[in-house]
Amino acid sequence: MIDSQICTLSSLESPELLAWSEVLRPLWDPDGTDGKPFVMHRKMWEWLFICAVLSERGVLAPGRRGLGFGVGQEPLVAVFANLGVEIVATDLPPDLAIERGWTTSGREYSDSIDALNNVGLCPDDAFQRLVTFRPVDMVAIPAELRGFDFNWSSCAFEHLGSLEAGLKFLVEQMRCIRPGGFAVHTTEYNVSSNEETVNRGGTVLYRRRDVEAVILHLRREGYQVQCDFTLGDTPSDRHVDVAPFSDVHLRTRLGEFATTSLGLVIHKPDDWQPQRPDRAAGGQVSRMRRLAGALRPGRAGGPPTSPGRSATSSPDAEPL
C-alpha cells in the first residue's frame, strides 16, 4: 500500500502511479503521440500520488464524498467526479486571491467549477451534477464542512504564511473527515537542511523535523500516520532544476534551498474519539502551542510572494 513518501523517480515508476498517469494522459499528451509513460515533474507526482492513495483505500467510488482545498485549476476534481465521487472544491475567496496575487497568471486559481474540467476528464453532465464550489480560506475552515470520506490538497498548505499555519491546517482539516476517512496532502519539502529553512512568507519549506513534529501531534490526537523519508538516489532524483526548466523536474530551487514534494496520508480510525473530551477549548490551544514550540526557528523570509496564499501550484515551478 502506498503510504506517505517523498517524490522520487522510483515512486513515479511504480505500477500504481503509472496506471494513474494514463488516466491523466489527456492533460499532458492531448494528441496521444508522446510515448513517455509519465511526466518527470513533481506536480504530476503529487497528483498521481493523491489518486493512487485514495484509490487503494477505496474512497474513489460512487456515493463517496471528497473535499479539495486550494484546488486552483488542478485536474483531480474532474478525475474524482468521473468516478462518481461527490466533490466540494474550494479555493480562496476572490478578494483574498486578488490581494495575494493568485489571479495574475490565470492558471493557479479558480473561483468556480468552470476551469476544473478543461480537458474533459469527466462528462459535463456528471461534472455539473457531482461538483460544487465554495470559497474557503484554509486558515478558517467553515464548521459546516463535515462528514467527508476524504480531503486532499496539492502543494497548498505551505502558502499559508508560516510553518505553524500550515501545520495547524493539517490538524484542523481532520475535523472535516468522518471516522474511517483519509486525508492526503502534499507540500514543499526541504532536502537541503534539517536546520535552516524558510519559516515565514508566501512559500515556506518544511524540514524533516517539522514533518516529524506534526506526525507526533496527529498520533497523539488519535490519527494514524506513516512516513517514509527515503530520498531517491538516481541522477534524476539528485538533479536540482532551475529556470529555464528542463523535463526533469523532481527537485527545484527556492532561494538557497533545494526542494521537492512530500505527501502525507492521515487516517481517522473508525473508532476515533476526540482526545481529552473533558477539557475546554483551551486544551486544544495548549496542544497547538506545544506543536508550534517543536518547530525550531529557521531562516525567516523567502521568495517575494505574499503570505496566506491558498492555491495548488508552487510559484517556482514551470506549469505542466
Per-residue model confidence as pLDDT tens digits over 237-295: 999 999 999 999 999 999 999 999 999 999 999 999 987 654 544 555 556 666 666 56
Q: What span, in angstroms and rounded, lies between the C-alpha atoms of 98 and 88?
A: 22
Residue 240 lies in a domain: yes
CA 41 to chain centre: 15
Do the Cβ atoms of 74 and 97 come closer than 8 Å?
no
Query: Domain for residue 143, yes or no?
Result: yes
Residues of the chain with pLDDT under 50: 278, 280-281, 302-319
H helices present in 74-123, as ranges: 76-82, 94-99
- Reference 269, options 184, 183, 185; nearest CA is 183
Residue 308 has a pLDDT of 37
Asked if 69 and 156 count as a contact pair (C-beta separation under 8 A), the reply is yes
Q: How far apart are the first and last CA of the chain?
A: 27
Count Cβ neighbours within 10 Å for each residue of 145-158 and write b for 16 or more, e otherwise.
beebbbbbbbbbbb
With respect to residue 306, please indicate whether it lies within any of the assigned structural domains: no
- At 258 the pLDDT is 98
Cα separation, 244 vs 187, in Å, equals 23
CATH number of the domain where residue 59 is located: 3.40.50.150
Tally of domains in the chain: 1
- Distance from C-alpha of 187 to C-alpha of 190, rounded to nearest angstrom: 10
Q: Which residues in 109-136 are b (16+ Cβ under 10 Å) and which e?
A: bbeebebbbeeebbeeeebeebbebebb
- 165 domain-assigned: yes
- Closest by alpha carbon to 133, among 170, 81, 182? 81
Please give the radius of gyration of the chain, using alpha carbons only, rounded to the nearest integer: 18
Contact between residue 260 and residue 230 where contact means Cβ atoms under 8 Å apart: no
Assign residue 50 a region (left: φ > 0; alpha: ψ between -120 and 50; beta: otherwise). Answer: alpha
How far apart CA 4 and CA 249 sit, in angstroms, is 20
- Type of residue at 19: A
Q: Is residue 310 part of a domain?
A: no
Structure-block grid coordinates of residue 11: 515512486
- Domain extent, residue 159, equals 5-293
**Which residues neighbour 86 within 8 Å (Cβ) at sequence distance 6 or greater?**
63, 64, 65, 66, 130, 131
Element spanning 214, H or E: helix 208-220
All cell numbers assigned to 277? 473530551
12, 46 Cβ separation under 8 angstroms: no
What pLDDT, on the 0 to 100 scale, is given for residue 305?
38
